[in-house]
Structure 1
């Protein structure tokens, strides 16, 4: 058994002349320490296995929690409230067996209803919290909190270093890309300069050839100017001949124009007559169309009138049928009422006949009695 549990199991509390041995609570060490956490020389005092099946998540640094296991089921409690379970066995380090008294559970929302000895149990726990075992636990908890804070701080620093490394790597990659880009631009500039030098040589050769072509063109221009003067003289002669031909053509055109004018006048008169006849036909057609439109309107009006007459006829026929049914139903009611009245009259007549017979009998009886008197 570990030294921590041995210290807690040997705590003795006296109350009302009873000696009470409080068994140490079973603390899950995996809740206090992580497997990879350095314990600074405390690991040889702890013999419990950190990889137990009931492994619980580590408590937060602000409010550390621990799991207390004992015979009476309770909920998890803060470290500041150390609860002892009911004693179930005696530590093997004790020399003689002891008779344990029943210790009640703590009076709080984390445990069941306290027993009759809850006052003794609370006093024992208060003394245990201020004893050597309580100080050891508090020291271990403080060490655990400090190590947790250091671990979180180291993790934060590591993450910052990783981020700075990533940013530096990104900057280096950007510089490499920029260097490659500038190298490619330099190579392309060299290629462009080579192309431009080659183009300059080509332009110089073109300039020389252009100079030769210009001299050749000037020579050809002089030859063409001389040929043009000869052509102009020839064209002048041709123009004189063309003007004479145009004068003759003009005279022929005037003759043909007068003849065409005569034909045009005759065709115009015939066309005008045809237009007049066509207008007359259009007028007749328009008149016929108007008449057809008027007839269609009249037909449509007659159709509407016939539809109205048919509707009125249907309404009258419907009203007549309804009136006929109403009269027939009224007549039937009158007949039924008359039959009921006849039946009532017959019954009344029978009753009156009976009453009349009775009255006659009474009168006869009175008459007989008077005669007898």
Structure 2
């Protein structure tokens, strides 16, 4: 039981540490704008997409036809860039940016979903902490009740030991009285045998001294009276011993009855104690299994959050790579326009 209490206290401390804001799982995502206003770059992406579109078209259609308007000389600038409206103008870059926008929106929804799940896990941990505190209080109460029952059983055991000592004393007295009674019976038997022998001797003497009856009559009468008194005394003593024996038997019977009652009481108390321990063990196993299930679910949620963060990191790296490629394409397009301007200025000067 002490080991169970230490295990519950350790789990309680772990939950208190997890409750701290620094240790709690947090999802920090960078804010990414899902709408790209490409007109602020002076229609450079439109020019790039136009060039890509001219490359994708049939070269036999109009190979020498110049672009309709220069991006730098346009009188009306678009107010907002739309990946759906300008898909044909932007080409592959627009489709990539549109797919990235959808991916970012999906990742935001997933991040919000995981954040709500993390908050739900936090509330679950609060509930589990409250349940754990209640379980610790109940365990303390059960320990106090068990200690009280142990003290009560110890007092009952001491009382039973006292009763056993008293019973042993009474049994010793009974054995002593039985020994005295046996000695008395033996003495009475010996005396009776002596009396019978004496009577036989007297009868033989009477028969032998039949002619001396008158002389020996008084002596025989006196001996008979003495023997009668002795027999009466022995009978009275035997009756007293019988009464004493009956009272001792009644006392022994009462003591045996009390001992049986105490033994049944102790047996019932032991059965109740074993039932309480069995119920407590079953309750402990159920709560430990529920606690392990909750911990396993928390670990699975943590693994899912980590996987989502890794996917978000990979997506961020892909977006950075696409932006760098777009910047490189923009730089190449600017270089091509500068070379074209220089070549057109050369023949005019010559």
Note whether the superposition's TM-score is higher than 0.5.
Answer: no
Structure with higher Rg: it is: 1
More helix by share: 2
TM-score (normalised: structure 1): 0.27
Normalized per residue, the structure richer in strand is 1
For CA contacts below 8 A with separation 6 or more, give which structure has more relative contact order: 2
